[in-house]
Amino acid sequence: MKVVVDMNKCQDHGQCVFAAPDVFSMDDDGHLAYVPDPADALRDEVEEAADVCPLQAIRIED
Amino acid sequence: MTGRILVAGASLGGLRAAEQLRAAGWTGAVTVVGDEPHMPYNRPPLSKEVLAGKAPFASLAFTPRSAAQDVEWRLGTKVVSAGLAERTVALDDGSTVSYDGLVVATGVRPRRLRCPGPLTGRHTVRTLADAQRLRDELTRPGARVVVVGAGFIGCEVAATAVGLGVAEVTVVDPLPLPMVGPLGALLARALLRRHEERGVRFALGVGVTGFEGEDRVTGVRLADGAVLPADVVVESVGSVANVEWLEGNGLDLSDGVLTDELLRVGGRPEAIAVGDVARFPNARYDGVPRRVEHWSIPTDTAKHAAKSLVAHLSGSEQELTPFAPLPTFWSDQHEFRLQSFGAPVLGLDDVRVLDGDPEGDVLVGYHLDGRLTGVVALGGHAVATSAARYRAQLLKQPALTS
Ligand SMILES: Cc1cc2nc3c(=O)[nH]c(=O)nc-3n(C[C@H](O)[C@H](O)[C@H](O)COP(=O)(O)OP(=O)(O)OC[C@H]3O[C@@H](n4cnc5c(N)ncnc54)[C@H](O)[C@@H]3O)c2cc1C
Ligand code: SF4
Q: Considering the domain boundaries, does residue B328 fall inside one?
A: no
Q: How far apart are CA B90 and CA B79, in angstroms?
A: 6
Residue A14 contacts B, CB cutoff 8 Å:
yes
pLDDT class for B401, splitting at 50, 70, 90? Answer: low
Contact B299 A47 (CB under 8 A): no
Domains in chain A, start-ordered, CATH in brackets? 2-61 (3.30.70.20)
Report, as an integer, the average pLDDT of B53-63: 93
For residue B299, list chain A residues with Cβ-Cβ distance below 8 A.
51-52
- Select from B60, B33, B49 the least CA-distant residue to B128: B60
In terms of domains, do B217 and B263 share one? no
In terms of domains, do B227 and B124 share one? yes
Contact B328 A59 (CB under 8 A): no
- Select from B213, B203, B209 the least CA-distant residue to B223: B209
In terms of domains, do B215 and B253 share one? no
Q: What is the pLDDT of residues B105-116, one digit of tens each?
A: 999 999 999 999
Q: What is the pLDDT of residues A3-52, one digit of tens each?
A: 999 998 888 888 999 999 999 998 888 889 999 999 999 999 999 999 99
pLDDT class for B207, splitting at 50, 70, 90? Answer: very high
Contacts of B343 by beta carbon, 8 Å cutoff, 6+ apart: B282, B285, B327, B366, B373, B374
One-letter identity of residue A46: V
Q: Considering the domain boundaries, does residue B364 fall inside one?
A: yes
Q: What is the pLDDT of residues B278-333, one digit of tens each?
A: 999 999 998 899 999 999 999 999 999 999 999 999 998 778 899 999 999 999 99
Q: Considering the domain boundaries, does residue B207 fall inside one?
A: yes
Q: Considering the domain boundaries, does residue B197 fall inside one?
A: yes
Say how many domains are in chain B.
Answer: 3
Q: CA of B135, closest CA in chain A: separation in Å?
A: 20
Give the pLDDT score at A31. 87
Proximal ligand: closest to the CA of B35: 1
For residue B388, list chain A residues with Cβ-Cβ distance below 8 A.
14, 17-18
Q: Considering the domain boundaries, does residue B276 fall inside one?
A: yes
Report, as an integer, the average pLDDT of B214-218: 96
Q: What is the pLDDT of residues B149-185, one digit of tens each?
A: 999 999 999 999 999 999 999 999 999 999 999 999 9
* Residue A40 exposed, middle or buried by CB count within 10 Å (0-12, 13-18, 19+): exposed
pTM to 2 decimals? 0.96
In terms of domains, do B231 and B282 share one? no
In terms of domains, do B105 and B117 share one? no
Between positions 15 and 54 of A, the ones with CB within 8 A of B are 15, 17-18, 26, 29-30, 47, 51-52, 54
In terms of domains, do B205 and B344 share one? no
User: Residue B175 gets which letter from DSSP?
Assistant: S
Averaged confidence pLDDT in chain B: 95
For residue B385, list chain A residues with Cβ-Cβ distance below 8 A.
26, 30
Which range marks the domain in which residue B9 is found?
4-109+239-313
Contact A9 B380 (CB under 8 A): no
In terms of domains, do B206 and B271 share one? no
Which percentage of chain B shows pLDDT scores above 70? 100
Phi, psi angles (nearest 5°) of residue B293: -95, 60
Q: Considering the domain boundaries, does residue B264 fall inside one?
A: yes
Phi, psi angles (nearest 5°) of residue B24: -85, 0
User: Which of B216, B235, B254 corresponds to the end of one domain?
Assistant: B235
Report, as an integer, the average pLDDT of B139-152: 97
Angle ∠(B386,B157,B295) on CA atoms, nearest 5: 50
Residue to substitute in A17, A32, A35 for testing ligand 2 pocket (most ligand atoms within 8 angstroms of CB):
A32
Q: Considering the domain boundaries, does residue B319 fall inside one?
A: no
In terms of domains, do B153 and B229 share one? yes
In terms of domains, do B185 and B285 share one? no
Contact B44 A54 (CB under 8 A): yes
User: Which of B185, B205, B235 corresponds to the end of one domain?
Assistant: B235
In terms of domains, do B229 and B135 share one? yes
Q: CA of B385, closest CA in chain A: separation in Å?
A: 8
Q: How far apart are CA B242 and CA B205, in angstroms?
A: 30
The protein residue whose alpha carbon is closest to atom 8 in ligand 1 is: B331
B370 dihedral zone (left: phi>0; alpha: psi -120 to 50; beta)? left
In terms of domains, do B101 and B246 share one? yes
In terms of domains, do B188 and B257 share one? no
CATH code of residue B188: 3.50.50.60
**Strand B88-91 versus strand B96-98 pairing type:** antiparallel
Q: What is the pLDDT of residues B7-35, one digit of tens each?
A: 999 999 999 999 999 999 999 999 999 99
User: Which of B208, B235, B262 corresponds to the end of one domain?
Assistant: B235
